Amino acid sequence: MLVRLTMICSGATPATRKGSFPVDEALEPQSLALAATMTLRRADRVWTSPALRARQTAEAMALKPSVEALLAEQDFRHWAGKSFEEIQALEPAGIAAWLGDTEAAPHGGESLADVARRTTRLMDGLIQTSGHTIAVTHASVIRGAIVHVLGAPLSACRRIDVEPLSLTDFRSDGSRWMLRSTGVPVAAKVVRSRSGKVAS
């Protein structure tokens, strides 16, 4: 049984382009225009994070997704929309805890470990589902998927760079996942299907 999961990182927004903690906002015009030039080969199913920027990325790529809550961006609660420097100045102990402990959530939202756990639930549920799944999601979820598949410590997430509109591909034989490629610009993987729609 062949199982394939292609994770696409949503495009950038004004906040993420400035290096701020993510907030639920629309894509910047440049990312929206770039996503509109991209269409992936057909898949058996397409999922997207509930976030506006993920849904816009999928729609711009002519995908017809269903929303999957497990693909949501990490909830940064009261840090959302603020820069790292701003939070470091206001809450230095909070930033230190967040950087040093994967279970810490000083912002009142989700810890890195929380995101990793739901990413693991998603992948564990999908491993017995044959076919190709495209998931439009976020860097935090993709990092969690990578360390899960590699069996790496969760702290390794902080050393993985995931670019907006990049592709990370996983394969499975139904018993274990393998990382096939990561950090690939979606533009380099464009293969237009006959209609731009997802095959059933």
Question: For 3-188, which CATH superfamily applies?
Answer: Phosphoglycerate mutase-like (3.40.50.1240)
Q: What is the structure's pLDDT at 187?
A: 60
Are 43 and 199 contacting, i.e. CB atoms less than 8 angstroms apart? yes
Q: What is the structure's pLDDT at 193?
A: 36
> Alpha-carbon distance 14 to 62, whole Å?
23
Helix/strand/coil for 144: helix
Instruction: For residue 103, give the DSSP letter.
Output: T
Report strand pairing: 45-48 vs 131-137: parallel
φ/ψ region of 131 (left if φ > 0, alpha if ψ in -120 to 50, else beta) reads: left
> Alpha-carbon distance 64 to 30, whole Å?
22
Give which of 11, 20, 15 is closest to 56, Cα–Cα.
Answer: 11
Are 196 and 43 contacting, i.e. CB atoms less than 8 angstroms apart? no
Give residue for tokens 């999922």.
47
Q: What is the structure's pLDDT at 42?
A: 81
Q: Going residue by residue through the chain, which has 200 residues, state the pLDDT in tens, using 9 for 90 and above.
A: 789 999 999 999 999 999 999 999 999 999 999 999 987 878 999 999 999 999 999 999 999 999 999 999 999 999 999 999 999 999 999 999 999 999 999 999 999 999 999 999 999 999 989 999 999 999 999 999 999 999 999 999 999 999 999 999 999 999 999 999 998 887 644 443 333 333 32
Give which of 153, 181, 135 is closest to 5, Cα–Cα.
Answer: 135
